[in-house]
């Protein structure tokens, strides 16, 4: 009898001990590819392997994860969500209206988000993005504001939660809309944050550093990364910021890290397929950094890769055909080619259509019959029309225009991308978000929780449950 009790006690002790050590996941990575639907991922995979006549796609790391499901993402007031409403649902477990950050639809209640809960439980939190860290998605993981456009208010709120590591772009408007407000960077420093915005300062960041805002030294003046397709060799990537985040925050209790690939969405708003592909690849590189960490600690780590919504209603296939190998001839983003055109016009307004065609061939391959990219009469007419509008009618094409704004003039650059996309077999239904559910790819401790389709409000609840916060 005594022996039996001893055995039962040992078994009980062991199972309790086991469940205690296995109870919570310590390290959680939530990767959000803004605007990244299934077709964005699959187009990238077709592009990776693309060879003429070969029907084969190369799997991205995120697609090799054992759990693959999907997530609905409607907001409180529309089937078609915006990033802030979707990110609020993913961070807090509650729906809100499009446009609102971290608050209820009536703007009365500030939702408690996962970052606050994780901090309360004594773990560390990192928030990363390839766009500004006060942009809709990252902001929804710390801020509570009536509008996503209140960038200044969001950046002033950012240091209030002792979040350990911010990484990526800077602030959108650190001195307010009119540039006459107290500086948001100074405010962050006053609240104990260290700003690292040079390569040297970034490299110096080390294990145990707290309250860090690491900003990419090589980015657009508006605070987002350069496009991955245009990136300079030495520029820091989302993967670099993820790696640094792990180095800075690694600790025995654990951490939660949200990493946003913010410009996938922007490229899709601009219907720039190849630029989108390069953004997905850069995002996948950041996922790889987390995956390397996971391999060291598979029983304590969970990686979730998903999106807030799909952007652009991307279609794959025209007349039962895809020629993804043609996409390899685009060498620059639509935005950078626009800039080239604007500079050219300033330098030489009389530039001929033929010279423009030469430049289009260099950057988009169009006109090169040897690679299957000859232009037919229709396509030449489209380009000529864009050329006349841009060079002859004095229509302004702003190279720095935010992709979220509507550009009424279809520039030469946008027209070239449109033609190349079509030849490759991809087309776009809109320049906006769509209502389609988004993919979810998961690996690690607790992965089974995500194996069946769910709503974006459940994502936060599932992570909280697994982390025990």
Distance in Å, CB of 403 to Zn ion, minimum: 8
Q: Which two tokens stand for residue 169?
A: 């772009």
Torsion of CA 53, 56, 62, 65, to 10 degrees: 180
Q: Which two tokens stand for residue 75?
A: 């907001």
Distance in Å, CB of 404 to Zn ion, minimum: 6
Distance in Å, CB of 35 to Zn ion, minimum: 5
Residue among 432, 426, 428, 388 nearest 406 (CA): 432
Closer residue to Zn ion in complex, CB, 125/417: 417
Distance in Å, CB of 271 to Zn ion, minimum: 13
Closer residue to Zn ion in complex, CB, 136/213: 136
Closer residue to Zn ion in complex, CB, 134/265: 265
Distance in Å, CB of 266 to Zn ion, minimum: 7
Residue among 151, 91, 128 nearest 461 (CA): 91
CA angle, 459 then 465 then 467, to 5°: 100
Residue among 261, 39, 221 nearest 137 (CA): 261
Closer residue to Zn ion in complex, CB, 116/265: 265
Q: Give the C-alpha separation, 134 to 422, whole Å.
A: 35
Distance in Å, CB of 224 to Zn ion, minimum: 13
Closer residue to Zn ion in complex, CB, 277/302: 277
Distance in Å, CB of 309 to Zn ion, minimum: 7
Longest Cα–Cα distance in the chain: 101
Per DSSP (E only), the strands in 293-425 are 301-306, 310-311, 314-316
Closer residue to Zn ion in complex, CB, 90/125: 90
Q: Taking the CB of residue 258, how many other CB atoms lie within 10 A of it?
A: 25
- The answer to whether the beta carbons of residues 251 and 24 sit under 8 Å apart is no
Closer residue to Zn ion in complex, CB, 272/379: 272
Q: Taking the CB of residue 20, how many other CB atoms lie within 10 A of it?
A: 9
Closer residue to Zn ion in complex, CB, 48/76: 76
Closer residue to Zn ion in complex, CB, 262/324: 262
Enumerate long-range contacts of 293-296, CB under 8 Å, 24 or more apart: 293/27, 293/29, 293/246, 294/443, 294/444
Q: Give the C-alpha separation, 379 to 415, whole Å.
A: 9
Query: Which residues, other chains included, contact 447 with Cβ-Cβ below 8 Å and sequence gap of 6+?
Result: 65, 66, 67, 302
Residue among 403, 419, 218, 230 nearest 333 (CA): 230
Q: CB-side exposure of 159: number of CA atoms within 13 Å?
A: 20
Q: Give the C-alpha separation, 2 to 178, whole Å.
A: 80
Residue nearest to Zn ion (CB): 265
Distance in Å, CB of 338 to Zn ion, minimum: 19
Closer residue to Zn ion in complex, CB, 265/272: 265
Closer residue to Zn ion in complex, CB, 157/265: 265
Distance in Å, CB of 44 to Zn ion, minimum: 18
Distance in Å, CB of 82 to Zn ion, minimum: 7
Distance in Å, CB of 100 to Zn ion, minimum: 15
Residue among 310, 325, 241, 236 nearest 276 (CA): 310
Residue among 209, 290, 200 nearest 242 (CA): 290
**φ and ψ at residue 166, rounded to 5 degrees:** -105, 140
**CA 389 to centroid of chain Cα atoms:** 33
Q: Which residues bind Zn ion (CB under 5 A)?
A: 265
Residue among 115, 157, 150 nearest 135 (CA): 150
Closer residue to Zn ion in complex, CB, 34/116: 34
Distance in Å, CB of 171 to Zn ion, minimum: 19
């Amino acid at each position: 009898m005594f022996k039996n009790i001893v055995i039962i006690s040992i078994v009980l002790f062991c199972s309790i001990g086991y469940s205690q050590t296995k109870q919570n996941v310590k390290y959680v990575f939530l990767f959000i590819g803004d605007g990244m639907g299934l077709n964005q991922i699959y187009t990238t995979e077709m592009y990776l392997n693309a060879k003429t006549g070969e029907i084969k796609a190369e799997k991205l790391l995120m697609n090799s994860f054992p759990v693959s499901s999907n997530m609905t993402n409607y907001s409180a007031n529309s089937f078609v969500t915006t990033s802030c409403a979707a990110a609020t649902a993913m961070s807090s477990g509650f729906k809100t209206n499009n446009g609102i950050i971290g608050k209820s639809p009536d703007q009365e209640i500030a939702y408690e988000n996962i970052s606050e809960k994780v901090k309360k439980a004594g773990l560390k939190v990192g928030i990363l993005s390839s766009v500004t860290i006060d942009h809709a998605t990252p902001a929804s993981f710390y801020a509570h504001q009536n509008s996503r456009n209140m960038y200044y208010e969001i950046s002033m709120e950012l240091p209030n939660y002792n979040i350990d590591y911010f990484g990526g772009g800077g602030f959108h408007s650190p001195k307010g809309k009119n540039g006459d407000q107290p500086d948001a960077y100074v405010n962050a420093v006053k609240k104990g944050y260290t700003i690292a915005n040079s390569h040297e300062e970034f490299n110096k960041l080390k294990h145990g550093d707290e309250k860090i805002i690491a900003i990419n030294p090589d980015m657009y003046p508006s605070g987002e990364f350069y496009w991955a397709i245009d990136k300079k060799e030495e520029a820091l990537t989302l993967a670099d910021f993820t790696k640094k985040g792990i180095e800075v925050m690694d600790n025995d209790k654990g951490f939660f890290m949200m990493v946003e690939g913010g410009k996938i969405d922007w490229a899709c708003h601009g219907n720039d397929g190849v630029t989108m592909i390069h953004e997905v690849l850069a995002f996948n590189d950041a996922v790889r950094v987390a995956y390397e960490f996971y391999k060291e600690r598979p029983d304590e780590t969970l990686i979730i890769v998903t999106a807030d919504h799909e952007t652009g209603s991307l279609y794959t296939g025209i007349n039962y055909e895809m020629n993804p190998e043609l996409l390899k001839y685009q060498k620059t983003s639509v935005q950078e080619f626009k800039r080239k055109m604007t500079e050219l016009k300033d330098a030489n307004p009389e530039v001929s259509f033929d010279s423009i065609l030469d430049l289009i061939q260099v950057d988009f391959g169009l006109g090169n019959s040897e690679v299957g990219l000859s232009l037919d009469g229709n396509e030449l007419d489209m380009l000529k029309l864009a050329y006349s509008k841009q060079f002859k009618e004095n229509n302004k094409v702003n190279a720095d225009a935010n992709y979220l704004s509507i550009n009424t003039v279809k520039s030469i650059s946008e027209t070239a991308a449109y033609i190349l996309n079509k030849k490759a077999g991809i087309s776009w239904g809109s320049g906006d978000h769509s209502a389609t559910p988004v993919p979810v790819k998961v690996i690690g401790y607790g992965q089974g929780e995500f194996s069946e389709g769910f709503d974006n409000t459940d994502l936060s609840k599932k992570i909280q449950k697994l982390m025990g916060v």
